[in-house]
Structure 1
Amino acid sequence: MGLRRKKEAVNGPGPVPPMPAGAPRGADWAVELHGVRRRYGRGSGAVHALSGIDLALERGSFTAVMGPSGSGKSTFLQCAAGLDRPTEGTVRLGGTEITSMSENKLTALRRTRLGFVFQAFNLLPSLTVEQNVVLPMRLAGRRPDRRRAADLLQRVGLGGDKHRRRPGELSGGQQQRVAIARALVTEPDVIFADEPTGALDTTTAAEILALLRSAVRDLGATVVMVTHDPAAAAYADRVLFLADGAIVDRLERASAQQIAARMTTLTAPAHATAAA
């Protein structure tokens, strides 16, 4: 799967429709959201965390999602990854409509076709590095592929005998490298990353982002990353900006300075405090 880069950058303050005009459903998209809304509560106290998202992201791309506190970033990621169900609309991952799936089928899909990288690493301390990497295969009922695990650990800079170590014997940056290898091991349709560099120093964060970038470039991975950091978002092919539960703008192949400047023009919604 090739990485399709846009030739032109959109740097103006006006909104740009994130769903390509005339894009057919079921085309070569890794992630599709159609009319997605998420409401918490009822009546006058309802919180509209997502207010109608229409979006299609191609395979082999790296997308960053940004917005002020309360803009809906976390809710967007949870709905897109099948961790939460939208109140309205549909979500498709790798061409599969997941909105109406049973919880058991959703769980199976997440184990086999999605990868996750979190700020807190979420490694099991009692397992070795290798065992953590192949865990998604075990949970999916598949035979662990230790050769693939070794290859991925080598790619993320953890070759040698590090596969025998426990997470507690590794630095924070090394633990996040293990998490990236784990996310890639099942060759998922999409990797969802939630503030993956939030617990890391600047130098280590840059190394982790470069790994995600290389996973897109070299392995054809699709990455959707929520971040508050313009420097992190600058590694992505595009940045989507959320405000008040809606995508209000996007930038293509933008610098950290351009992204930061756009963020300053967004105002956090006062009522959506539970959204992100």
Structure 2
Amino acid sequence: MGLRRSKRQHGQHGQHGQAAQDRQAAQEPYDTTAAVELRGVRRAYGRGDRAVHALRGIDLSLPRGSFTAVMGPSGSGKSTFLQCAAGLDLPTGGSVRLGGTEITAMNENELTELRRSRLGFVFQAFNLLPSLTVEQNVLLPMRLAGGRSAHEGRAHAAELLARVGLAGKGGRRPAELSGGQQQRVAIARALVTRPDVVFADEPTGALDTTTAAEVLGLLRDAVDALHATVVMVTHDPAAAAHADQVLFLADGLIADRLPRSSAAAVAARMTALTARHAPAAAAAAA
């Protein structure tokens, strides 16, 4: 009995201590120049001994106009990181700010509005609506957010389609385009509201090497020419080599960082990280 009470008391102290840390982090001044800022972000699934700790305390500040790639072994927390940073999932603890706005206390309606008006998304599966034209797919976030007149919107969509190499194709349906062209449409759609951040989840995973390089060049151009901020989860060192920096996640923590480097350098760092954490992963699985 005494042992059980001691463990319970210890757990309560731990919870109180973590809550105090979360409050302290929330009170500290934020980096006003950051497009994305995470403080002590944790995400656990389940409770007690069976809880899975996908993120264990992420502290990160990404400046506006930057391109960040996120890599890591399977189960390292990459997808959870992206979901929490983009407001698609709420962290268990810590805080997230996007464009200077604290989002962890928002309700679902507020988060939906934020995602429509201030965030862009590019996914591996393109996620275009087949019944809409290319132009209508690009304009969809703007119309959902209620911004701009129809004339201004169409002009902006045409400008973006031209930038991604699809001038004159606004009237086509997604099924009439190749996979690479569909991903170009998705990039134009992600940029149409001039978002604070574009989140890309394995954006080249369904593309061949040549087409993937073209798509990555467009994301790079969005950063360099349009001053967009891109956060991309990828398993591909060649994709990560287009970014300003690569963050390596392992066991729910940022285990390493690498400034803009060649694909070979990124691959070597990834191999070393995987080897270093393989014993721990095997022990946890056992």
TM-score normalized with structure 2 length: 0.85
- Please, which of 38, 61, 72 is the counterpart of residue 56 of structure 1? 61
Rg larger for: 2
Structure 1 counterpart of 2:167: 159
Is 2:140 the partner of 1:135? yes
Contact kept in structure 1, 2:57 and 2:252, CA below 8 Å: yes
Is 2:185 the partner of 1:178? yes
User: Separation in 1 of the partners of 2:234 and 2:106?
Assistant: 28
Q: What's the CA shift string for 1:190-226, capped at 9, x where partnerless?
A: 0000000000000000000000000000000000000
- TM-superposed CA distance for 1:24, in Å, is 5.1
**Does the C-alpha gap of structure 1 residues 240 and 41 become closer, same or farther in structure 2, counting only changes over 3 Å?**
same
Contact kept in structure 2, 1:130 and 1:146, CA below 8 Å: yes
Is 2:32 the partner of 1:27? yes
- TM-superposed CA distance for 1:26, in Å, is 3.7
Structure 2 counterpart of 1:240: 247
Structure 1 counterpart of 2:108: 103
Contact kept in structure 2, 1:244 and 1:272, CA below 8 Å: no
- TM-superposed CA distance for 1:254, in Å, is 1.1
Structure 2 counterpart of 1:8: none
Is 2:49 the partner of 1:44? yes
Query: How many residue pairs were aligned?
Result: 250
> Comparing 229-238 with 251-260, which one deviates more in the overlay?
251-260
Is 2:203 the partner of 1:196? yes
Contact kept in structure 1, 2:31 and 2:61, CA below 8 Å: no
Structure 2 counterpart of 1:149: 157
- Please, which of 172, 192, 215 is the counterpart of residue 222 of structure 2? 215
Instruction: List runs of 5+ in structure 2 lacking aligned partners.
Output: 1-27
Is 2:98 the partner of 1:93? yes
User: Separation in 2 of the partners of 1:50 and 1:242?
Assistant: 9
Aligned to 2:170, the other structure's residue is in SS state helix
Aligned to 1:163, the other structure's residue is in SS state coil
User: Separation in 2 of the partners of 1:137 and 1:108?
Assistant: 11
> Comparing 173-182 with 25-34, which one deviates more in the overlay?
25-34
- TM-superposed CA distance for 1:271, in Å, is 8.3
- TM-superposed CA distance for 1:35, in Å, is 0.3
Aligned to 2:57, the other structure's residue is in SS state strand
More RCO (CA 8 Å, sep 6+): 1
Report sequence identity in percent: 78
- TM-superposed CA distance for 1:107, in Å, is 0.2
User: Separation in 1 of the partners of 2:283 and 2:32?
Assistant: 36
User: Separation in 1 of the partners of 2:233 and 2:199?
Assistant: 8
User: Separation in 1 of the partners of 2:282 and 2:92?
Assistant: 21
TM-score normalized with structure 1 length: 0.88
Q: Match of 1:222, as an amino acid?
A: T
